[in-house]
Chain A
Amino acid sequence: DAGVTQSPTHLIKTRGQHVTLRCSPISGHKSVSWYQQVLGQGPQFIFQYYEKEERGRGNFPDRFSARQFPNYSSELNVNALLLGDSALYLCASSLEGLAGGGDTQYFGPGTRLTVL
């Protein structure tokens, strides 16, 4: 079975541009979460979606937005890119989300975003 897939693998943008990252969850999983991982640190939570609705949002500016589609895939959008947005963006999928009592999140390989 395919795991979580993300595209693109790598991306280079310049300051001020916007970017769209895509994620397809494991088949049967209805929840998708997005995390940002800066080099040398653990992943930081950005969003969680379940059944196309936002369930949680981390401490990120409004430049970050996301959505989930009827097929449970998801997009993360970042506007007005800053140098500090350079990071590995990870998508994780789970059956129903963490609120159900500890639903395991499985991560994709990530998208490496470099902002110049």
Chain B
Amino acid sequence: GESVGLHLPTLSVQEGDNSIINCAYSNSASDYFIWYKQESGKGPQFIIDIRSNMDKRQGQRVTVLLNKTVKHLSLQIAATQPGDSAVYFCAERNQAGTALIFGKGTTLSVSS
């Protein structure tokens, strides 16, 4: 079946450190992935996406890496700030192309 999971439920870092949030997916045919950030009481906020024909994509302070060999996705946040504290979800498009399949999320806590 299709499922997306995250390796760690929580991650605590110091302000200024680099953060790495990991995600494993099970469907080797998945071709589109998205990272979302969700703050308490809000809807998920788009961070960055990547298609399966790419290994890496960079945004502002964020980088997504895709390793199709081991079906692994990671989100790197450079110079983490207190405002980055939130729950981070990875999601993959389902085979029918009609929905995103979400994992359970990683809670990132940034202390100053």
Residues of A that sit less than 8 Å from B by CB: 4, 33, 35, 40-45, 48, 55-56, 58, 90, 92, 97-102, 104-110
Contacts and interface: CB of A to CB of B under 8 A. Distances in A.
B100 A45 contact: yes
Contact of A48 (B4, B45, B51, B98): B98
B59 interface: no
Given A42-B103, A42-B104, A107-B44, A102 B98 contact: no
Query: Which of B31, B43, B94, B96 has the most chain A CB atoms closer than 10 A to its own CB?
Result: B43
A56 B96 contact: yes
A36 to B, nearest CB: 11
B98 A97 contact: yes
A50 B49 CA distance: 21
23 contacts: A33-B100, A35-B100, A41-B105, A42-B89, A42-B91, A42-B105, A43-B102, A44-B102, A45-B98, A56-B98, A97-B97, A97-B98, A98-B32, A98-B94, A98-B97, A100-B97, A102-B31, A104-B34, A104-B46, A106-B46, A107-B43, A107-B45, A107-B46
A45 B95 CA distance: 13
A102 B48 CA distance: 12
A97 B100 CA distance: 11
Nearest to B107: A40
Given A104-B34, A104-B49, A98 B89 contact: no
Interface string B98-112: 111111110000000
B34 A109 contact: no
Given A44-B102, A45-B94, A110-B43, 20 more contacts: A35-B100, A41-B104, A42-B91, A42-B104, A43-B44, A43-B100, A45-B98, A45-B99, A55-B98, A56-B96, A92-B100, A98-B94, A98-B97, A98-B98, A99-B98, A101-B51, A102-B51, A104-B34, A105-B34, A106-B46
